[in-house]
Amino acid sequence: MDKIKNNKIFQWLHERYNLEPILEFVEHKQVPMHKHSIWYYTGGITLFLFIIQVCTGILLLFYYQPGVDSSYESVRFLMTKVNFGWLIRSIHSWSANLMVFFAFIHMFSVFFSEAFKKPRELTWVSGFLMLLLAMGFGFSGYLLPWNELAFFATKVGTDIVGDVPVVGELIKQLLRGGPDVTGSTIYRFYAIHVSILPLIFLVVLGLHLLFIQRQGMHEPEFYESLPPEEKHSIPFFPNFFLRDLLFWLLILDVLLFLAVFFPWELGIKADLFSSAPAGIRPEWYFMFMFQSLKMIPAKVLGIEGEILGIVFFGILGLLWLTVPFWETVIAGKKRPWLMKVIGLLAIIYMIALTIIGYLV
């Protein structure tokens, strides 16, 4: 830190703008060091993967041309003719999956360490919103190469949206740009993927980081109750940040390994008038919901099964979003184990249905 303060440019700026408040803001955060500190890195890794998405996404924009007659062709051109085109696309696709994966890990680590509790309710809410946005990125990006698998997955996915009571049909039309998945759908998903979602995501991300910087890191209970001399913590900036960077480097290696040795495939071009091939499935992070919908009978007590399933997941999502607000009512100090059980059940359910989805 002192090195920065002695820096000529810093002093030049400081003389004119008084950087004291900024320094204070950056310096005050401490990161507690204990046996579970490793989980503190998961958020940073997710952030890093998002940065990769923005960079590779912008590179893809230079060649990608949305449209029924150009989407697939432009991606194929990118992959076969453009220098490193295959690599950029492969990184974008792999990093998208890793980003969602780490967002899940990060979320559950926060859940089990109970970092969502007062005063960090809004950090939780903004974090979960970002996970939903990331899934939106994945869903909208999946269609863009306009290959057969993506075409039918999008047909099915948007059809499910159409089953949402009251507003479903309207949203489905808004997403598809008409009654069916066609070229209009590509334009809409493109606009959503490269401009609407990034803008919203950046705002929510900004808030999320602001909250964290303002409130400092959460200290788990066992750490909080230690006598002060046994508490060990390091400054976030620069000490923890440098460790973050080390993890980022590690993740970058993993990412490059996957992107190079398992290059993302393009598949065959979507055809509006050909039968669906076998093996249509959504991306893995939608699988547990998708499989549940499949397993609900067509009619339950006279209500269409799909609708019931959608309402069910809608309510679950809302409950998950508002965890910090009802946790105190049903669990709190009286039943500290209850939230752990709920979290475990959620994980077991998601993993089990995902596995079933891939097996059948």
Partner 1 sequence: MSVKRRKFLDYILSLGFTGLVGSIIYPALSYLKPPKQAEAAVNSVKAGKVNEIPVNSGKIVRFGRKPVILIRTSTDEFIAFTATCTHLGCIVQYREDKQQIWCACHNGLFDLKGRNISGPPPRPLDPFLVQIIDDEIIIAKPKRMS
Which residues bind to ligand HEM, rule: CB under 6 A?
Answer: 50, 53-54, 57-58, 60-61, 64, 75, 89, 92-93, 96, 99-100, 134, 137-138, 141-142, 144-145, 193-194, 198, 264
In the list partner 1, ligand HEM, none, the entry touching 58 (Cβ below 5 to 8 angstroms by class) is ligand HEM
Q: Which is nearer to ligand HEM, 134 or 293 (CB)?
A: 134
Give min distance, CB of 214 to partner 1, in A. 30
User: Is 275 among the residues that bind partner 1 (CB under 8 A)?
Assistant: yes
Give min distance, CB of 137 to ligand HEM, in A. 3
Contact segment (CB under 8 A) with partner 1 among 58-66, 229-237, 268-276, 333-341 equals 268-276
Q: Which residue has 């990060």 as its token pair?
A: 106
Give min distance, CB of 53 to ligand HEM, in A. 4
Q: Which is nearer to partner 1, 36 or 294 (CB)?
A: 294
Give min distance, CB of 185 to partner 1, in A. 10
In the list ligand HEM, partner 1, none, the entry touching 341 (Cβ below 5 to 8 angstroms by class) is none
Integer Cα distance of 56 and 50 in angstroms:
10
User: Is 277 among the residues that bind partner 1 (CB under 8 A)?
Assistant: yes
Q: Which is nearer to ligand HEM, 49 or 323 (CB)?
A: 49
User: Is 180 among the residues that bind partner 1 (CB under 8 A)?
Assistant: yes
In the list partner 1, ligand HEM, none, the entry touching 275 (Cβ below 5 to 8 angstroms by class) is partner 1
Which residues, other chains included, contact 352 with Cβ-Cβ below 8 Å and sequence gap of 6+? none
In the list partner 1, ligand HEM, none, the entry touching 184 (Cβ below 5 to 8 angstroms by class) is partner 1
In the list partner 1, ligand HEM, none, the entry touching 152 (Cβ below 5 to 8 angstroms by class) is partner 1
Binding site for partner 1 (CB under 8 A): 152, 155-156, 159-160, 170, 173-174, 176-178, 180, 184, 272-280, 294, 298-299, 304
